[in-house]
Amino acid sequence: MKKVTLLILIAIIQLSFTACNSDLTEELKGDLSKSTLVGEKDAFALVDGCYATFMMDGGYGFFTYKGYMRLFEAPTDGGLIKDSGIDKFKWGENIGLDLWETAYTIVQRTNTAIQLIGDMEDGAFEDPTVKNRLIGEAKFLRAFAYSLLTSAFGDVPLITSTEPEALPARTPLAEVVAQIMLDLTDAVSVLPETHPTEIGRATKGAANTLLAKMYMREADWSKAKSAIDAVIGGPFDLYQGPYRDLWLESSRKDNEFIFSIMSQGEDYSNGSSHHIKAFSPWGYDLGWSDFGVPKEIFYAMDANDARKDVIVNDLSGAYYGYVAAHGTAVAWLGYVILQKFSGNNRDVTAPNSAWGNYGS
């Protein structure tokens, strides 16, 4: 009798495990494939993941901290790197590496999105135009990544497949540029003029603007003008208020901004972008001030130039006495402070906490 009871108990346990294994089997959305991406929300999630690349590395990535400024702005006559001019700055592989890693992550993700969304049935979308629109957004982002890569490095590996070679060779610049133009032309044909409730997504104007920049880079002036005219004829216009107010957070959705990388943060630790720290010097503001406006440009500006609303040389308002004692930013830093993105120029984020503004 005991033996029969034991066998029945073992059978019940085995059935229980079988039932649990069956009931708890889940479909893993992290396994990107045609079978797991079946609805419109899945397609949006794919493209949203492409945009998320802009916020890589916890707000300290290429777009969210010093990378873009260091590589494209500071070496020009209009920018300046702390404690060194372009003739003294020591270039290291890490400067280009930030862009390389970020851009090719965008390329990898957009290639996946373009293929998988393209393979989805049209009936999976509530609005039949959304499928092509999302593919258009991914193509714009891929073109954007390659526009930066070619600006910095010239010939770069052109990857449009989800299964690239392990060590792809560099592609001649002309071929990469041709792909950028193709992606942007495709994007223009399917993207909407605006995204009223989803600021930060690619639009027809964003694609035309990048097209214009690429045509100007190629010295194709007639096509550049056509793309620019298309932007001028769109929903964008120049901000009419004080220049300083354009950079307030309450203005971040103003239609002067054709394409923006959106970010947010409630406190220092959780800020998705630490971009402002690169401009705001500690002691005058909350930051590290690695970049500024060359004094030569500041001195050459007209006294009534509206841009001076966000360019600071007078340190009398500094909250640390030793900083105010310098009198001017030029005397203290050797350049003037650009305060467009400064913690002193905030109006809505974490209104009761300066630290909240620090990480936003």
d(CA 212, CA 88): 34
What pLDDT, on the 0 to 100 scale, is given for residue 340?
82
Question: What would the pLDDT profile of 280-306 be if each residue is shown by its tens digit?
Answer: 788 887 777 678 888 999 999 999 999
Mean pLDDT of 42-55: 93
**In this predicted model, what pLDDT tens digit does every residue of 168-207 receive, in sequence order?**
999 999 999 999 999 999 999 999 999 877 888 999 999 9
pLDDT per residue as tens digits for the range 91-138: 666 678 889 999 999 999 999 999 999 999 999 999 989 999 999 999
pLDDT of residue 270: 55
Does the pLDDT at position 323 exceed 80? Answer: yes
Average pLDDT over residues 14-20: 41
pLDDT of residue 251: 84
Tens digit of pLDDT for each residue in 218-257?
999 999 999 999 999 899 999 989 998 888 877 878 899 9
Least confident piece of the model among 134-148, 186-200, 261-275: 261-275
Reduce the DSSP state of residue 292 to 3 states and report it: strand
φ, ψ of residue 319 to 5 degrees: the values are -85, -10
Please give the mean pLDDT across all residues of the chain: 82
CA-wise closest residue to 218 among 150, 156, 290, 270: 150
338: three-class secondary structure by DSSP: strand
By DSSP bridging, strand 311-312 and strand 335-338 are antiparallel
The Cα 287–Cα 258 span in angstroms is: 27
Specify the pLDDT at position 8. 39
CA dihedral 127, 129, 49, 43 (to 10 degrees): 50
Whole-angstrom distance, CA of residue 264 vs CA of residue 102: 20
171/57: higher pLDDT: 171
User: Percent of the chain having pLDDT more than 70?
Assistant: 78
Q: Do residues 108 and 146 touch, judged by C-beta distance below 8 A?
A: no
DSSP sequence for 84-145: B-TTT----HHHHHHHHHHHHHHHHHHHHHHHHHHHS-GGG-SSHHHHHHHHHHHHHHHHHH
pTM for the model stands at 0.84
Q: Sorting pLDDT into bands at 50, 70 and 90, what band is 32? A: low
Amino acid at 50: C
The two tokens of residue 256 are: 């002067």
Average pLDDT over residues 33-37: 70
When mean pLDDT is compared over 15-29, 85-99, 316-330, 339-353, the highest value belongs to 316-330
Place of tokens 């100007």: 216
Q: How far is CA 134 from CA 115, 234, 252, in A?
A: 11, 20, 23
